């Protein structure tokens, strides 16, 4: 069966510090991979998605970037965090080319101080 791992679960970082969040999927090949952010009390904002190695579609930001160095690995990064980057970051996967839904990791709760 497929599993998705996302870490760390919580993170407190000062403004201006770098960020690296990692997500890996097991048990499937060539998945579509996604990064979402959810601010407190708000909906999920799509940040990036990838349909293959090295293919990244960016929806939003600003000071965040994503990379997919391997088929089942998706990394979210920032060189300098802003206060507004605080939130719940969620990685998800779906079957590549399929019509199925997303399956989420447990999320990373980031607080920028």
Partner 1 sequence: RKEVEQDPGPFNVPEGATVAFNCTYSNSASQSFFWYRQDCRKEPKLLMSVYSSGNEDGRFTAQLNRASQYISLLIRDSKLSDSATYLCVVNKNNDMRFGAGTRLTVKP
Task: Tell me: does residue 46 bind partner 1 (CB under 8 A).
Answer: yes
Q: Measured over all CA atoms, what is the biggest interatomic distance in the chain, rounded to whole angstroms?
A: 40
Question: Residue count at the site for partner 1 (CB under 8 A)?
Answer: 24
Looking at residues 52 to 81 of the shown chain, list those that interact with partner 1 (rule: CB under 8 A): 57
Instruction: Write down the least CB distance from residue 108 to partner 1, Å.
Output: 10
> Exposed/middle/buried for 83, CB within 10 Å: 0-12, 13-18, 19+?
exposed
Binder of partner 1 out of 14, 43, 54, 69 (CB under 8 A)? 43
């Amino acid at each position: 069966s497929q599993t998705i791992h996302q870490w760390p679960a919580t993170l407190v970082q000062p403004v201006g510090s770098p960020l690296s969040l990692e997500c890996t999927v097991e048990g499937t090949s060539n998945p579509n991979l996604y990064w979402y952010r959810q601010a407190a009390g708000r909906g999920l904002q799509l940040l990036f998605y990838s349909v293959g190695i090295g293919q990244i579609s960016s929806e939003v930001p600003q000071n965040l970037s994503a990379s997919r160095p391997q088929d089942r690995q998706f990394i979210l990064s920032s060189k300098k965090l802003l206060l507004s980057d605080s939130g719940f970051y969620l990685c998800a996967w779906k079957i590549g080319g399929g019509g199925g839904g997303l399956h989420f990791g447990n999320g990373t709760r980031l607080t920028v101080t």
